[in-house]
Every structure is written in C-alpha cells, then in structure tokens.
C-alpha cells in the first residue's frame, strides 16, 4: 500500500543541468497523482519509471510556464500510448481554452476525454474523492492565483476485532452498524461500546504541496499535521525582501510553516538557479525545523504504513 512522492523537478523558473522545473508525482496505492507539469515532466516520469497508464489526475498549482509547459507533450504521449480513459486536470479556469487550443494544434487525434475542474482561489475545498483518497485544494499567495494541494488517505471505517465477534456472539447483520459507530447490546442487555469492538489497521497518510507562495501564517493550520509538507524555498534567508517582492518564500519561512503546522517532515524545493549547492538552504531551514530535506530530481519520499490503534 504505497504512499510515496517522487520529485520530477525541483528548480524554479530557470532549470539547471541538475534540476528540471516543478513537478511531483504521488503514488497513492498505485494511483498516480501528478502535481504540476513543467516542461520535461514526461521525460522525468519515464526516467524514474512511473507507469503512464496509472496517471489518475493532474493538479496544476498556478499558470506560470515553469509549472505547466509539459502538459501538451505529456497528453500527446498518453495519446500515443493508447490511453482511452478520461483525464481530469484541476487548474485555474484560464488554462482550459489555451490548453485545448494547443492540443488541437499539436496533438494528432486525441483519443481520450479531458475534463477540467476549476480551482477555488478563495478557500480550502475538497476537489477529489475516490476510494480511499481525498484531495483538498488550498489557497496560496503568489503574484497570480496559486493553490496548494493536500492528498490524504481516508480510512472510512475501522475493522471489527474477530475475537470479540466470537466472545459476544455478534450477529453478522450487526457488523456494519458497529463499524459505522453503533454500540452493541448483548442478549443480556450489556452495552459494549463500538470503540472496544473495533480497531484501525492503519492511520491515514497525507502529503501537502505548497508552491508557489509567499510566507503567510494562515497556511499553517490548513496543512496541520501532514506527514510530509512540500513548501517552496526559492531563496535563502538573506533574500527575504526579494522573496516577498516576487511572491516566494525563504528557507526559514518554509520551516516556520512546517513547525507551526506540526508537519512530520518538510521538503523544500523550487530553488533559484543561483544556488549551485542548496545545502545552505537546508541548513537554514533545519535551524527551525530539523526534519527538513531538499527536493532533488529523482528523490523518492516514502511514507510507510502507520500502525493503527
């Protein structure tokens, strides 16, 4: 039951020989969620051995080229690979007409439908819920409309403890009711609370992607308690003014959000090309939030199954 993020691109607008521009792919139980799709994303997906047929949905944070220019090429490739199932793209509304126009121009006979879902730029909103996965979009603050995304597992119902089914002779017909929060009354009239009868095999895992954004404290409660927070850190701490002016964050600001949110781990990325070595940014973030790691193209951050209670 995989829940792991692969970094496909970690540069800001100017790619380097080591870093493609922004894209992450989350493998959530073998469904792939692509977050941002910069130029070269399809090449990175292939390099890091993602299965194109498992791409479920694409989430675009904002409409700057370094987050979106890989879409037409990827769609062309999915088409050549024979995709026929619908592809849903979650993005800001102005993307739809220009992307459809580009597809009509550059892609031979598209064989699968593309559905666009517009993002809400004002408030957090659940935008996807299928099976055990929920995706929430959250508003960020950048030069143009920008959204973050939180992808979570949900555990709908607990399991029933088998030994207690036998012990209390619970009829099969009662099981679902108890899982959904009903208590059980024994033939003798004794009430057994549902919490006693059930357990969670695993706890839901979660990943939040926040890029591009300037620092704002209200982001922290929106990503509270996530297992992994990806927060852009385009600049070092000495460039806080520049960060503010361009709608970006410093390493310390990313770490501050992670700390306030009580995240388990922080990944920083979207590095300015001026940092040939990003370890200075990692150190600045770790001074505030020790569990900080740099995004490097090809890195995989796995969130193992968390034992339940």
Q: Does 40 bind its own copies (CB under 8 A)?
A: yes
Nearer to its own copies among residue 76 and residue 296 (C-beta): 76
Rounded to a whole number, what is the distance in angstroms from the first to the last CA of the chain?
18
Q: Which of 4, 76, 124, 202 binds its own copies (CB under 8 A)?
A: 76
Active-site residue, from 66, 212, 227, 297: 66
- The verdict on 169 binding its own copies (CB under 8 A) reads no
Which of 7, 23, 34, 70 binds its own copies (CB under 8 A)? It is: 70
- Of 63 and 220, the one with the shorter C-beta distance to its own copies is 63
Nearer to its own copies, 107 or 203 (CB): 107
The rounded distance, in Å, linking the Cα atoms of 194 and 203 is 18
Interface pick for its own copies out of 25, 60, 72, 91 (rule CB under 8 A): 72
Q: Which CB, 9 or 158, lies closer to its own copies? A: 9
**The Cα angle at residue 89 between residues 134 and 25, in degrees rounded to 5:** 65
User: Taking the complex as a whole, how short is the minimal distance between the CB of residue 101 and its own copies, in angstroms?
Assistant: 7
Of 6, 15, 137, 281, the one binding its own copies by CB under 8 A: 15
Contacts (CB under 8 A) with its own copies, residues 100-129: 101-102, 105-108
Nearer to its own copies, 94 or 225 (CB): 94
Does residue 66 have an active-site annotation?
yes
Query: How many Å apart are CA 208 and CA 149, to the nearest integer?
Result: 6
In whole angstroms, the minimum distance from the beta carbon of 97 to its own copies comes to 10
The minimum distance between CB 74 and its own copies, in angstroms, equals 9
Q: How far is the CB of 237 from its own copies (least distance, A)?
A: 23
Minimum CB–partner distance for residue 232 and its own copies (Å): 17
Residues linked to residue 301 through DSSP beta bridges, in sequence order: 5
Query: Quick one: 43 or 134, whose CB is closer to its own copies?
Result: 43
47 binds its own copies (CB under 8 A): yes
H/E/C letters for each residue in the chain?
A: CCEEEEEEECECCCCCCCCCCCEEEEEECCEEEEECCCCCHHHHHHHCCCCHHHEEEEECCCCCHHHCCCHHHHHHHHHHCCCCCCEEEEECCCHHHHHHHHHHHHCCCCCCCEEEEECCCCCCEEEEEECCEEEEEEECCCCCCCEEEEEEECCCCCEECHHHHHHHCCCHHHHHHHHCCCCEECCCCCEECHHHHEECCEECCEEEEECCCCCCCCHHHHCCCCCEEEEECCECHHHHHHHHHHCCCEHHHHHHHHHHHCCCEEEEECECCCCCCCHHHHHHHHCCCCCEEECCCCCEEECCCEECC
Out of 30, 65, 112, 201, the only residue in the binding site for its own copies (CB under 8 A) is: 65
- Tell me if 92 contacts its own copies by CB under 8 A: no
Catalytic residues, by residue number, are 66
Under the rule (CB under 8 A), what is the footprint of its own copies?
13-17, 20, 39-40, 42-43, 46-47, 63-66, 68-70, 72-73, 76-77, 80-81, 94, 98, 101-102, 105-108
């Amino acid at each position: 039951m995989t829940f792991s993020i692969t970094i496909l691109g970690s540069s800001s607008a100017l790619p380097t020989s080591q870093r493609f521009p922004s894209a992450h792919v989350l493998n959530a139980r073998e469904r792939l969620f692509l977050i941002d799709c910069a130029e070269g994303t399809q090449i990175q997906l292939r390099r890091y051995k993602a299965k194109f047929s498992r791409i479920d949905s694409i989430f675009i944070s904002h409409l700057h080229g370094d987050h979106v220019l890989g879409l037409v090429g990827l769609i062309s490739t999915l088409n050549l690979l024979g995709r026929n199932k619908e592809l849903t793209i979650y993005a800001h509304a102005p993307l739809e007409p220009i992307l459809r126009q580009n597809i009509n121009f550059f892609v031979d006979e598209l064989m699968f439908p593309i559905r666009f879902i517009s993002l809400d730029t004002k408030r957090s909103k659940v935008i996807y819920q299928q099976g055990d996965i929920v995706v929430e979009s959250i508003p960020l603050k950048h030069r143009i409309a920008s959204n973050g995304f939180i992808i979570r597992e949900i555990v709908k119902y607990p399991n029933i403890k088998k030994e207690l089914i036998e012990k209390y002779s619970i009829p099969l017909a009662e099981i679902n009711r108890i899982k959904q929060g009903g208590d059980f009354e024994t033939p003798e009239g004794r009430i057994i609370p549902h919490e006693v009868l059930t357990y969670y095999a695993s706890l839901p895992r979660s990943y939040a992607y926040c890029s591009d954004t300037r620092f704002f404290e209200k982001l922290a409660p929106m990503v509270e308690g996530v297992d992994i927070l990806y927060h852009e850190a385009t600049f070092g701490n000495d460039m806080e003014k520049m960060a503010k002016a361009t709608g970006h964050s410093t390493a310390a600001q990313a770490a501050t959000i992670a700390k306030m949110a009580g995240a388990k781990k922080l990944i920083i990325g979207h590095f300015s090309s001026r940092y040939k070595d990003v370890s200075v940014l990692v150190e600045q973030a770790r001074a505030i939030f020790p569990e900080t790691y740099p995004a490097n193209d090809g890195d995989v951050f796995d969130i193992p199954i968390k034992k339940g209670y």
